[in-house]
Chain A
Amino acid sequence: MSDSNYDEILQLLSERLASISTSGLAITPEMNLINQLAIDSIKLLNLIMEIEDTFDISVPVNALTDVQTVADLAKLIHRIKSSQ
């Protein structure tokens, strides 16, 4: 998968996060999902199900352990999608 795909993933994620975040902040890649964007665990897990359907991939919940920022999440999805 090319970098442009990563950018597309990041763009899509940013749009989705903007719609579910209650922070009112503009989304940037380095933003922390919990502390800055107020994405609680259930919102994140539901977002993951949407992402799985959008990209037709499986994203194990335990893979989220190392995800803290918007960019971390985009990289994880990019990595899983690329490995297919």
Chain B
Amino acid sequence: MNLLDKLEAAAAARKAVLPSALSAFGIPIDEVYSATEARIGDRKIILLGTNNYLGLTFAPECLQAAHEAIDKEGTGTTGSRMANGSYLGHRALEQEFADFYQCRASIVFTTGYQANLGTIGGLVNPGDVVLIDSDSHASIYDGCKLSGADIIRFRHNDVVDLEKRLRRLGDRSSSTLIIIEGIYSMLGDQAPLADIIKIKNDYNALLLLDEAHSLGVLGKTGQGLVEKTGLIKEVDFITGTFSKSLCSIGGYCVSNHPHLDFLRYISHPYIFTASPSPATIASTRAALKLLRNGEDLRQQLWGNAHRLYTTLRNIGYTLGPEPGPIIAIILDDPQQALKLWQGLLENNIYVNLILPPAAPDNNSLVRCSLNAAHTEEQIIYIEKIFTKLYT
């Protein structure tokens, strides 16, 4: 099989899952009106499938900061952080992240994907071990592959299973990095952080927590699961992204370990790419301030999340294990999921469609993501349509 044949085989495999579902992926958004509304074709739709948890995409403070940064510093840095791409804003944002988490230091990466690639790839090497939750995001898998370390999976959120796998490693457990997420993107459930920390301490391993979906969502000031549980000092490395609650693009790692800074010299995803643009950094800094002081936004977000989760469960839908901004409707087969997804779009509601093998346990998912800007009127309409489409 030559190189192009392999691509054709991969495309055929994707098509084989459900040929009629191909149009559901990468659907073009023609115009964005607000944090909750957009146009697809000639339809004005409610956005119920974004990661815009605090609804800050059009926050005036962020828009103004971005505009001013473009005017002052231009559209791009045209260079790596290691070369000409380390502006005042990049360094200030790193300090602000360190302050936010009350950690020793932080590193800003160009994307959230690269934050995991760069952190994991720098921390572990061939001969080390990474123990990852089976529902981990692709950036975690890819970071592990990049590292060359031995990759072992444990069953999703199963601390007994994690302990069993650490035990099997014997002495190698002390050169093991455990990787988990604050909120998992597929089912929207949270990691059992306290139990995992106890096990990692028992086996002298290190822990990396990806707060991509929990930043801004959990904790009084929005730090994530570490703040909700009060366990920040027990977590060795925290990664996250700017592309969800912070509404831009980029990523970070924070840590109290002085070794964090060494990643700047060895992490290829940090070194060999251009740094985030001035506008990106400026809007992220403005959004981080809003996030820290966004208790009212979190209250609104969780109010929306609890309400829709309860309604969908009462209608009879099978849902992910706990309420949260990500509400996954679990369906038995791809055809059912596609039908629900199409029904929602025909009624002007956009959600995410996730088909095997992307969804856990060979399920098909229709995934809703709520945000703080969804109005009661919109939620009532969404509930009405889900009721109508239930079979």
Contacts and interface: CB of A to CB of B under 8 A. Distances in A.
Contacts of A52: 152, 165, 168
Contacts of A63: 150
B235 to A, nearest CB: 24
Contact of A42 (B148, B150, B357): B357
B134 A45 contact: yes
A18 interface: no
Contacts of A57: 168
Residue picked from A43, A49, A57, most chain B C-beta under 10 Å: A49
- Helix, strand, loop or mixed for chain B's interface? mixed
A42 B362 CA distance: 8
B379 interface: no
Residue picked from B129, B151, B164, B165, most chain A C-beta under 10 Å: B151
Interface in A49-84: 49, 52-53, 56-63
Given A49-B134, A56-B168, A61 B356 contact: no
A41 B148 CA distance: 19
Q: A interface, how many residues as a size bin? A: 10 to 19
Interface in B14-66: none
Interface residues of B, number: 19
A40 interface: yes
A19 interface: no
Given A56-B168, A58-B168, A49 B155 contact: yes
B152 A60 contact: yes
Nearest to A53: B164
Contacts of B357: 40-43
Contacts of B292: none
B203 to A, nearest CB: 14
Residue picked from B13, B145, B152, B362, most chain A C-beta under 10 Å: B152
Contacts of B153: 45, 48-49, 61
Contacts of A53: 164
Nearest to B131: A58
B134 A58 contact: no
Nearest to A60: B150
Contacts of B129: 60
A46 interface: yes
Contacts of A58: 150, 152, 165, 168-169
5 contacts: A42-B357, A43-B357, A49-B134, A53-B164, A61-B152
Interface of B: 13, 129, 134, 144-145, 148, 150-155, 164-165, 168-169, 356-357, 362
